């Protein structure tokens, strides 16, 4: 998760450099889900803060696991604010215009794959709000709500997709401006076995711009 979060923050920094944003520091809303994708979002928020952004985290469904509790503590110690459980800024009857006004970027770290459980229902209102945003949405792994293979043309429309390890089949439906690949640590034997055909990362770069 640490490397994934760093890679995500690096891709964001390349696509939307802090100096190019209108607010100083640029404000970023990081919406985290209850699983590992949410953990990637927490790590990403921490690195974004170090890169000169001002992240705010919305983390409504927190797992009762020591790892995620420690990640929350790390973010809090870096003075990264968390929105309240019933925040009026996200979800419910909130207008997307409010988020557009407060934040310049929104990180989608909710679900990195098609997710079917009782947790899904609690995020429907959030996904609905996100689908109406005009500020850029940055999705980790795949856009939340998309099927990992089939995609979802009517779902969240991210401006930046950050694929990890290898692009998923649903990435063929991505129509945003930026597509970055991160997590450059696939063993050659594994890459050959699954015919991943991964790009060569230049020098010490940890992300690769696919689009």
Q: What is the pLDDT of residues 105-134, one digit of tens each?
A: 999 999 876 555 555 667 888 888 888 899
pLDDT attached to residue 104: 97
pTM above 0.95, yes or no: no
pLDDT of 7 higher than 90: yes
> Which H helix or E strand runs over 209?
strand 207-209
Strand pairing partners for 54?
27
pLDDT band, very low/low/confident/very high, at 92 (cuts 50, 70, 90): low
3 state SS of 50:
helix
pLDDT band, very low/low/confident/very high, at 90 (cuts 50, 70, 90): low
Burial of 172 (0-12, 13-18, 19+ CB in 10 A): exposed
Token pair of 8 as six digits = 């995500």
pLDDT attached to residue 162: 94
pLDDT band, very low/low/confident/very high, at 135 (cuts 50, 70, 90): very high
Of residues 106, 117, 169, 103, the one with CA closest to residue 140: 106
Token pair of 195 as six digits = 């015919």
pLDDT of 161 higher than 80: yes
How many Cβ atoms are within 10 Å of 132's Cβ, its own excluded?
Answer: 12
Mean pLDDT across the chain:
87
Measured between alpha carbons, how far is 124 from 104 in angstroms, rounded to an integer?
Answer: 22
pLDDT band, very low/low/confident/very high, at 179 (cuts 50, 70, 90): very high
How many residues appear in the chain?
Answer: 211
pLDDT attached to residue 86: 42
pLDDT attached to residue 171: 86
């Amino acid at each position: 998760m640490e490397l994934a979060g760093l890679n995500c923050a690096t891709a964001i920094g390349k696509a939307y450099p802090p100096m190019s944003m209108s607010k100083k520091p640029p404000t970023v809303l990081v919406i985290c889900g209850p699983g590992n994708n949410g953990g990637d979002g927490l790590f990403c928020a921490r690195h974004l803060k170090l890169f000169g952004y001002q992240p705010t985290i919305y983390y409504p469904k927190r797992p009762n696991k020591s790892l995620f509790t420690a990640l929350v503590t790390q973010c809090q110690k870096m003075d990264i604010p968390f929105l309240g459980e019933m925040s009026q800024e996200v979800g419910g009857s909130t207008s997307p215009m409010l988020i557009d006004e407060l934040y310049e970027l929104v990180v989608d770290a909710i679900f990195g794959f098609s997710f079917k459980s009782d947790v899904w229902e609690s995020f429907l209102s959030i996904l609905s709000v996100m689908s109406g945003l005009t500020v850029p949405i940055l999705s980790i792994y795949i856009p939340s709500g998309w099927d990992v293979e089939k995609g979802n043309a009517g779902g969240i429309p991210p401006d930046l997709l950050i694929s990890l390890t290898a692009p998923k089949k649903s990435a063929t439906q991505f129509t945003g401006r930026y597509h970055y690949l991160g997590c450059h640590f696939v063993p050659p034997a594994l890459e050959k076995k699954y015919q991943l055909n991964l790009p060569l990362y230049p020098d010490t770069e940890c992300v690769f711009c696919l689009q």
